[in-house]
Amino acid sequence: MQLNKSDKLSNVRYELRGRISDQADALISQGVDVIRLNIGNPGAFGFATTPAVQESLTRHAAACVPYSSTKGLPQARAAIAQYHRNLGLPNVCEEDIYTGNGVSELIQITLQAMLNPGDEVLVPSPDYPLWTAATTLAGGTPVHYICDEAADWCPDIADMRAKITPRTRAIVIINPNNPTGAVYTKDVLLQIAQLAREHKLALLADEIYDRLLFDDAVHVPIASLAPDLFCVTFNGISKSHQVCGYRAGWMVISGEKSHAQDYMAGVNTLASLRLCSNVTGQYAIIAALDDLEGPNVNLRPGGRLYEQRELVHRELNNIPGLSAVKSAGALYMFPKIDTARFNITSDEQFVLDFLREKHVLLSHGAGFNWAAPDHFRLVFLPPVDQLAQVMTRLRDFLASYKQ
Ligand code: PLP
């Protein structure tokens, strides 16, 4: 008998590791040197974690590491609680913190525990596409609100408001944002919190890039503005301390929880099913949260991420037909393509053509649930000389490209 995938998966899309990425793998297996700018994977571009985290990983990897409690090591949760209390999150207690195999696992647990068929979740467009995929997989319906490029990619509050229905359960915000690099103002966050308040919605705040800020950008955790609301904040050390492969993240439930005890019991059940998260990674969280200053060297003038962002922003805006809002945080830029100039009707085709001709892998905007075929995402993790090569290839490619 034919073995088919479950119907649950029929509408789940996750293109960051899909067809285009497979094409890149095929080229690589033929010996082609492909520059992969499609995943925010710092370790793949020569970033090393801080000495404190390295020391912790070495020490604990060698030991026989038993399971931790389902929620995580008490020392790890104490460190996480302290980190978020310092940032002003209200009503944080260790019992309502879960470590996870990356934020990825916790996003799925959160939504699986929350949604019934037909329940809606407000998700940004563009988004980090796991949020859309995990909502669908959990039986819910992702409803995308627009982030506005003309407003430095901040959420369009009127659009968000217009999309709330009696079935809406939660608002997802990704701040700092992947894929746009936006960091939201306090005013925008207050307006989002007010919407959640008026419509009794949970806030799901993916803040994994909260320590990756440039220039004078300030990150305000939305939970700190909403002590009367139920808020789940997601964070981790994949990006800030460049240890994606150790799968070390967490979530903190804060604010008003009295009406959510049944839901939280559901979260606990799902978390128990996976026993616990990677325990070596949990020790690394303790070391990382004790060393928040270490990685900042990359973010200042002269630091790798800072200079890479500068180059990409400058060069993109110098290529005829492209424009890009400068990222205030995170690792990404989401440039706009003048589709009329290149006759582009498929962003996926654009990315595939560039890959085949110039051997650079970008991600097309539709992969981030962006409706028009006029954007792509670029990861600015490679060193400046490699990024400069990418920019030259892009300029040359677009000089004669027509779809
Ligand atoms: N959330 C956002 C916004 C991300 O960009 C990523 C990874 O790129 C994740 C979550 C997943 O991170 P983790 O490695 O902790 O699973």
**Would you state the pLDDT for residue 21?**
87
What is the tens place of the pLDDT at every residue in 76-124?
999 999 999 999 999 999 999 999 999 999 999 999 999 999 999 999 9
Ligand 1 pocket at CB < 6 A: 40, 102-104, 128, 174, 178, 206, 208, 236, 238, 244, 249
Q: How far is the CA of 145 from the centre of ligand 1 (A)?
A: 20
| pLDDT reported for residue 101 | 98
Assess whether pLDDT exceeds 80 at residue 63.
no
Q: Considering the chain, what is the average pLDDT of its residues?
A: 95
Rounded to the nearest angstrom, the distance between the alpha carbon of 176 and the centre of ligand 1 is 11
- 124: buried, middle or exposed (CB in 10 Å: 19+, 13-18, 0-12)? buried
Checking if the pLDDT of 400 tops 90, the result is yes
Whether the per-residue pLDDT at 62 is higher than 80: the answer is: no
Please name the residues in contact with 334: beta carbons below 8 A apart, sequence gap of 6 or more: 126, 153, 179, 180, 181, 324, 325, 365, 368, 375, 376, 377, 378
Q: Which amino acid is at 251?
A: M
Residue 389 has pLDDT above 90, yes or no: yes
- How close is the Cα of 209 to the center of ligand 1, in Å? 9
pLDDT for residue 43 is more than 90: no
Give the pLDDT of residue 321: 97
Measured at the CA of 356, the angle between CA 353 and CA 358, to 5 degrees, comes to 95
Mean pLDDT value of segment 45-70: 89
Strand, helix or coil for residue 189: helix
Tell me the average pLDDT across 151-157: 97
* Ligand 1, atom 12, residue with closest C-alpha: 103
pLDDT score, position 48: 86
What are the tens digits of pLDDT across the range 203-255?
Answer: 999 999 999 999 999 999 999 999 999 999 999 999 999 999 999 999 999 99
pTM exceeds 0.85, yes or no: yes
Task: Give the model's pLDDT for residue 18.
Answer: 76
Supply the residue whose CA is at minimum distance from atom 8 of ligand 1: 40
With contact defined as beta carbons under 8 Å apart, do 279 and 68 qualify? yes
Q: Cα separation of 221 and 263, whole Å?
A: 23
Pocket perturbation via mutation, ligand 1, pick of 17, 104, 327 by most ligand atoms within 8 A of CB: 104
CA–centroid distance, residue 183 to ligand 1 (Å): 16
Binned at pLDDT 50, 70 and 90, residue 316 comes out as: very high
**CB-CB contact of 112 with 268 (8 Å):** no
- Among 167, 117, 172, 107, smallest CA distance to 144 is for 172
At residue 262, does pLDDT exceed 80? Answer: yes
Q: What is the C-alpha to C-alpha distance for residues 330 and 343, in angstroms, rounded to an integer?
A: 31
| Helix, strand, coil percentages in the chain from 3-state DSSP, rounded to 5 | 45, 15, 35
Q: Residue 345: helix, strand or coil by DSSP?
A: coil
CA 157 – CA 146 distance, rounded (Å): 9
pLDDT at 182: 98
Please report, for residues 202, 246, 310, the alpha-carbon distance to residue 320 in angstroms, rounded to integers and kept in the order given. Answer: 43, 41, 18
Residues composing the chain: 403
Report how far ligand 1's centroid is from the alpha carbon of 169 (Å): 22
The answer to whether the beta carbons of residues 182 and 153 sit under 8 Å apart is yes
Quick one: pLDDT at residue 61?
81
Of 333 and 294, the one with more pLDDT:
333
